[in-house]
């Protein structure tokens, strides 16, 4: 099954490169996936160039609150972690990819410890492990209470700073791949802002590119993703001929702090770990509406919780639900719920300050005190389970192009990512890329003349695009809304830019990825995992147990369905 979507730029309009440089491998992105890839490759190839769109710590990794999942605790096993992952993935995980993740996960986390990551420890000096939605065991390692990503980022950045084989270029936007006569990688064009002699558009000639550029959260009006998450890596790969897989499976985190109907951009995340510590969801009447919805109630997989919140919002006409965490830590200190109020609040405050200091500070900054107040929450875009299709070593269909982390679709997440598997995926599969890439390095090749049709969409379309995607391609979808969204995106793709620059490049990438996502969502006529169709409310394994792959040729995208190998997972 195939369908044609809108005509899009085959490459971005950009000035001719004003400078050139060379590196054996270019790693695009500086989160856990990119930093790990660069560190693991640095002694195996001649030179690694690590480029990042902003500063090194501006990506999604530093915002990861909950932690990193691995079977590290007593009584746990990779097999149990595998089962939980397959169940969350709703029948379309790649079972072998999941097996790789859970079996190599513990060793990968120990690698972080060797790199100086200071995970939280219990009284016995062992890793302090907690639980999140969809997990049947305590297997989430965390740092700084709720600052896991920031601590991992710090440790890996320090290791990169100590590695002379890695050259870092900040404020560098990946524009397009340079391709050789065989269609493989021969380089990459970048736009660099004010890095010495490298200013403006330049060309890096290389033998391999590792995309680790993160997700697509800025496609939507409200997201937990930082401003840099505009789908650049996915769009670069698509324009070069790579397949994008499972784009319709966008995970909306169920508990994002609601800031009002006019809020845009990155929103404060309330980690699932808060519910793992005993918080629960309630409606305006105080009803715990997750009871009876799933065996794990408030700790059900994220798609289940997000759907339950949305259903309750639709039923009540309310713009958000509430998270009640006012009791956390009260019993641990001996203060009873009915006892002295001051003592109880003091004990809860101590718990929050120790376990969730970042969330506590953020909530209070927005006028909510979790110690005494209910927290208003609503689903918002959080994670792209799909991305550039890869094999078990990060290879794409383009020789010399690899992908890892959120930009990639390794097959691990299926239709719905299990909580805290994302950091682990970036870590495990970056290590696997580093095992094979040095032996697969292409010879130095000159790029051929680029015959792809250039184009550029105006940066002014961003707000209209985000409003359309949030309203029609968000948590709840249907055929009329998706059809309308596709028509709007078609029009926006025709709004050409007056000026060449980052706003227009990002807008073009957003339109490109939004169009591909919408086309796949329209074709998947079922509800599965994080893809919720109100006009097709049931999961349909007879027709749709598989993947939608998007490719581009001559500015036209096509979407094709391929059946998935059966797994033991069940929604």
Active site amino acids: 302
Written as six digits, the tokens of 387 are 């991305």
Torsion sign over Cα 203, 14, 519, 311: positive
Strands 387-389 and 408-409 come out as parallel
Residue 220, C-beta contacts closer than 8 angstroms, at least 6 positions apart: 380, 381, 466, 469, 470, 474
Q: Beta-strand (E) ranges in 458-514?
A: none
Query: Phi/psi at 270 (nearest 5 deg)?
Result: -110, 105
SS3 533: strand
Q: Which residue pairs, CB below 8 angstroms and at least 24 apart, start in 256-259?
A: 256/222, 256/224, 256/377, 256/378, 256/379, 256/380, 256/382, 257/362, 257/363, 257/366, 257/368, 257/375, 257/376, 257/377, 258/319, 258/320, 258/376, 258/377, 258/378, 259/366
Of 94, 464, 446, 52, which Cα lies nearest the Cα of 229? Answer: 52
CA–CA dist 253, 432 (Å, integer) = 28
Written as six digits, the tokens of 534 are 């109100």
2 within 8 A of 548, measured Cβ to Cβ: no
């Amino acid at each position: 099954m195939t369908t044609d979507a809108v005509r899009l730029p085959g490459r971005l309009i950009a000035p001719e490169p004003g400078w050139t440089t060379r590196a054996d491998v270019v790693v695009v992105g500086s989160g856990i996936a990119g930093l790990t890839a660069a560190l693991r490759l640095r002694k195996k190839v001649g030179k690694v160039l690590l480029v990042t769109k902003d500063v090194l710590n501006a990506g999604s990794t530093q915002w990861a609150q909950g932690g990193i999942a691995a079977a590290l605790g007593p009584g746990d096993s990779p097999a149990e972690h595998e089962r939980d992952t397959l169940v969350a993935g709703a029948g379309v995980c790649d079972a072998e990819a999941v097996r790789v993740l859970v079996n190599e996960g513990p060793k990968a986390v120990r690698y972080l410890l060797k790199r100086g990551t200071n995970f939280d420890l219990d009284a016995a000096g062992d890793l302090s492990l907690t639980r999140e939605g969809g997990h049947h065991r305590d297997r989430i390692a965390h740092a700084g209470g709720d600052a896991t990503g920031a601590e991992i980022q710090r440790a890996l950045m320090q290791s990169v700073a100590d590695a002379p084989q890695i050259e870092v270029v900040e404020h560098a936007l990946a524009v397009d791949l340079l391709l050789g006569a065989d269609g493989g990688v021969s380089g990459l064009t970048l736009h660099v802002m004010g890095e010495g002699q490298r200013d403006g558009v330049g060309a890096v000639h290389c033998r391999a590119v590792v995309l680790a550029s993160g997700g697509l959260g800025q496609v939507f009006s409200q997201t937990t993703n930082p401003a840099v998450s505009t789908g650049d890596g996915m769009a670069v790969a698509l324009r070069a001929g790579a397949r994008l897989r499972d784009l319709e499976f966008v995970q909306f985190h169920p508990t994002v702090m609601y800031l009002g109907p006019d809020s845009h951009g990155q929103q404060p995340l309330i980690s699932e770990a808060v519910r793992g510590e005993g918080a629960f969801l309630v409606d305006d009447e105080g009803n715990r509406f997750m009871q009876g919805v799933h065996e794990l109630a408030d700790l059900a997989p994220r798609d289940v919780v997000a759907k339950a919140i949305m259903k309750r919002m639709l039923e009540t006409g309310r713009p958000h639900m509430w998270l009640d965490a006012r009791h956390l830590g009260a019993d641990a200190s001996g203060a009873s719920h009915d006892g002295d109020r001051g003592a109880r609040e003091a004990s809860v405050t101590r718990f929050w300050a120790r376990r969730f200091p970042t969330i506590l500070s953020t909530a209070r900054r927005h006028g909510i005190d979790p110690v005494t107040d209910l927290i208003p929450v609503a689903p918002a875009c959080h994670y792209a389970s799909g991305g550039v299709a890869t094999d078990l070593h990060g290879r794409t269909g383009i020789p010399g192009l690899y992908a890892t982390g959120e930009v990639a679709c390794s097959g691990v997440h299926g239709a719905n990512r299990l909580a805290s598997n994302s950091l682990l995926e970036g870590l495990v599969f970056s290590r696997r890329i580093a095992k094979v890439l040095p032996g697969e390095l292409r010879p130095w090749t000159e790029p051929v003349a680029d015959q792809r049709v250039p184009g550029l969409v105006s940066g002014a379309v961003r707000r209209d695009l985000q409003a359309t995607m949030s309203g029609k391609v968000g948590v709840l979808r249907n055929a009329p809304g998706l059809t309308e969204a596709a028509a709007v995106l078609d029009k926006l793709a025709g709004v050409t830019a007056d000026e060449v620059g980052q706003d227009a490049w990002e807008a073009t990438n957003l339109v490109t990825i939004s169009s591909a996502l919408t086309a796949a969502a329209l074709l998947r006529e079922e509800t599965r995992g994080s893809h919720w169709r109100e006009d097709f409310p049931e999961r349909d394994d007879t027709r749709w147990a598989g993947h939608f792959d998007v490719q581009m040729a001559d500015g036209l995208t096509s979407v094709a369905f391929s059946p998935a190998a059966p797994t033991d997972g069940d929604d």
